[in-house]
Amino acid sequence: MRLVAPSTQWQSAFLEMARECQSAGELRYALALGDFDAYLRRIETLRRGDHLPEGYVPGTEFWLEDDRMIVGCVRLRLGLTPDLENEGGHVGYDVRPSARRRGYGTALLRLALVEARALGIERVCVTCDDDNLGSIKAIERNGGVFAGSGVSKKTGKTVRRYWIE
């Protein structure tokens, strides 16, 4: 199990995960399904920090590969806005539906923390919905210390905020 850089080398495996997510009602990868090259360009634009939309910060993305299958995705944000500190944090990650509850989220976050430190982020903010027990466990298993909760401006749900030193 390892993090890989997004590339056309992993296109087929990534799109398989994207289709599975879409079938489960998760639309995060719609751009990749419609135009994979545009999705890769978007990742590169975010990495460079060029012409970012309002509220965005530079960041990078990695995919979790296990036995030639992409089982998850992590996005590392290189900075925080006040909104990101309350919801989003430095790290956003997800695991494909068929691979959930098998420890991939914990492993994905652990590997992302190594990358975050390599990028100079020593104190990492991670947030999750209050009802996402899998993410709560993954964050706490990786040393997350609960720092409070708030209400999502997007969903109205309660969001938990953690810091990992």
Give residue 74's pLDDT.
97
The pLDDT-based confidence of 51 (bands split at 50, 70, 90) is confident
Concatenating the DSSP letter of every residue in the chain gives -EEE---GGGHHHHHHHHHHHHHTT--TTHHHHH-HHHHHHHHHHHHHTTTPPTT---EEEEEEEETTEEEEEEEEESS--HHHHHTT-SEEEEE-GGGTTTTHHHHHHHHHHHHHHHTT--SEEEEEETT-HHHHHHHHHTT-EEEEEEE-TTT--EEEEEEE-
Q: Say whether pLDDT at 102 is over 90.
A: yes
In a domain, 43, yes or no: yes
State the pLDDT confidence band at 108, using cuts at 50, 70 and 90. Answer: very high
Domain that holds residue 73: 2-122
* Chain position carrying tokens 């976050």: 109
Average pLDDT over residues 30-48: 94
Instruction: Compute the distance between CA of residue 93 and CA of residue 139 in angstroms, rounded to an integer.
Output: 11
Q: Let me know if residue 140 belongs to a domain.
A: no
Q: Say what the pLDDT of residue 141 is.
A: 96
50 sits in the region (left: phi over 0; alpha: psi -120 to 50; else beta) called beta
CA nearest 1: which of 142, 137, 107, 76?
107
Average pLDDT, the chain: 94
d(CA 148, CA 21): 29
The band of 55, judged by pLDDT with boundaries at 50, 70 and 90, is confident
- The average pLDDT across 145-158 equals 93
10 band by pLDDT with thresholds 50, 70 and 90: very high
Question: Does residue 98 register a pLDDT over 90?
Answer: yes
Q: Is the pLDDT higher at 44 or at 54?
A: 44
The number of folded domains in the chain is: 1
Residue 13 inside a domain? The answer is: yes
Q: Across residues 1-28, what is the average pLDDT?
A: 95
Instruction: Specify the CATH number for the domain of residue 88.
Output: 3.40.630.30
Residue 114 lies in a domain: yes
